[in-house]
Amino acid sequence: MAVNQTLPRVNPPPENKLHPQRKTPFLTRLWRDSPLLVMVAPAVIILLLFTYIPLLGSVIAFMDYVPFLGFTGSEWVGWANFSSLFSDTAFWNALWNTAQITFLQIVLFFPVPIVLAVLLNTVAMPLAKRFVQSVIYLPHFLSWVIIVALFQQILGGNGVLNRFLITHALTPFEIMSNPDAFKLLLTTQAIWKDAGWGTIIFLAAIAAINPGLYEAATIDGAGAWQRFWHVTLPGMRPIIVLMLILRLGDALTVGFEQILLQRDAVGPGAAEVLDTFTYFNGVVDGSWGTATAAGLLKGVVSLLLVLAANKLAHRLGEEGVYRR
């Protein structure tokens, strides 16, 4: 396809501008990049303070850590926390629930903002477009407490829907407290809350596509569907892949607050995930060591997921998180 071949030229690889020439001396580069470095410094400091330094605390995973005895006073137990973790059925249950929710969210949630963005892009009237955008962005700014309460008021055992059914002598639906439907419910809530917000980056990706391509495609006789398939989608592809990889990085973080708020309604059997397991074991029950071991394990699995996805992206000829 002619359109396809023109793509790389229209979206020139930015390496020549961003990547320093190998020969330029370090100090020169430092001076040249100093404004950029200053700009990035606060983020780096935050990352160091709140991410890298706390990482050192992971040694707790190898200790029978008691907060008031501290790092020096707590007993070193080696891998004991991990072995007790692996022999705990509650941990495997949490892991399995996490995996199921992760899978559901990636399959059901991830494509929604892409589709929404594409649909929004087809809305010609700027006013209508902006209105729809505002409406779908709005739920992102509500906290989970409010969203869960809203769902409870509408779909709960005593909510609007079920009160209507009960007063009309119909069988009520068990939605909010049905363990079998819980994971779908979570995904639905997540889509309602954040799918709209997620469109922003994809809309930006669409906006970055050279309009000339569409014109060329139209001249070549491409219809709307062909323009989407051969221009829009390839243009969005690097962003989609990047977002997917980044998403995989925290895929195992499946919504702590959202789940914690609804865990009692369906019980830990259906609702315990790695994050809530860590919270209840560590903070509430005081088994900081085992909880940290679970957290560390989650971090390692997430890292592996990102690396694997990135590798796959490179295999498929995409840029991934970084360029090889």
Partner 1 sequence: MASRIPREGLTRRSLLRNAGLAAALVPIGGALAACGSGSSGGSTGGGPAGGGQTAPMPAYVPPNKPKPLYEGNAQGVMDVYESFPMDGPKTVTGPIGDGGDFNIMIMTYGQPAPPLNENVYWQLLNKELNLNVKPLQVPFADFQTKFPALVAGDDLPEFVSVPIFQNISRLPQLAEAQFTDLSEFLSGDAVKKYPNLAGIQEAGWLNGYLNGRIYGVPRSDPVFTTQIYTKTDVIEAAGANPQPKNLQEFRDLAKAVTDPKAGVYAFGGNIAGFLMMMFGVPNKWTRKSDGTFVSAYEHEAFVPAIAELAALYKSGVFHPDTATLIGNKTQRDSLFRSGKLAMVHDGNRAFGIVADDAKLVFDIMMPFGKDGGDAVHWTGNGAYAITMIKKTTDKKRIDMFLKVLDYVAAPFGSRESFVINYGVEGEDYTVKDGVAVLTTRGQREQDLGLAYIAGGPQVLCNPQGAPGVDKLNYGWQQKVVSTLLDNPAAHLYSQTFNTKGAALEQQMQDAIVAVFLGREPASSLTSAVQKWKTGGGDLMAREYAEAR
Q: Which residues bind partner 1 (CB under 8 A)?
A: 66-69, 89-90, 152, 156-158, 162-163, 166-167, 169, 172, 176-177, 179, 264-269, 280-281, 283-288
214, 120, 193, 204: CA torsion to nearest 10: 40
Q: Answer yes or no: are the C-beta atoms of 182 and 100 closer than 8 Å.
A: no
Nearer to partner 1, 16 or 167 (CB): 167
Nearer to partner 1, 93 or 218 (CB): 93
Nearer to partner 1, 155 or 321 (CB): 155
34 burial type by CB count under 10 A (0-12 exposed, 13-18 middle, 19+ buried): exposed
Closest CA to 314 of 252, 245, 247: 245
Q: CB of 280: closest distance to partner 1 in angstroms?
A: 7
Q: CB of 66: closest distance to partner 1 in angstroms?
A: 6
Q: CB of 76: closest distance to partner 1 in angstroms?
A: 17
Q: CB of 81: closest distance to partner 1 in angstroms?
A: 13
Cα distance between residue 46 and residue 65, in whole Å:
26
Contact residues for 106 (Cβ-Cβ < 8 A; gap 6+): 244, 247, 248, 251
Q: CB of 294: closest distance to partner 1 in angstroms?
A: 14
Nearer to partner 1, 234 or 268 (CB): 268
Q: CB of 156: closest distance to partner 1 in angstroms?
A: 6
Nearer to partner 1, 33 or 264 (CB): 264
Task: Name the H helices within 19-159.
Answer: 26-47, 53-55, 70-73, 80-86, 89-104, 111-122, 126-137, 144-155
Nearer to partner 1, 69 or 135 (CB): 69
Q: Which residues pair with 75 in a beta bridge?
A: 64
Cα distance between residue 5 and residue 142, in whole Å:
44
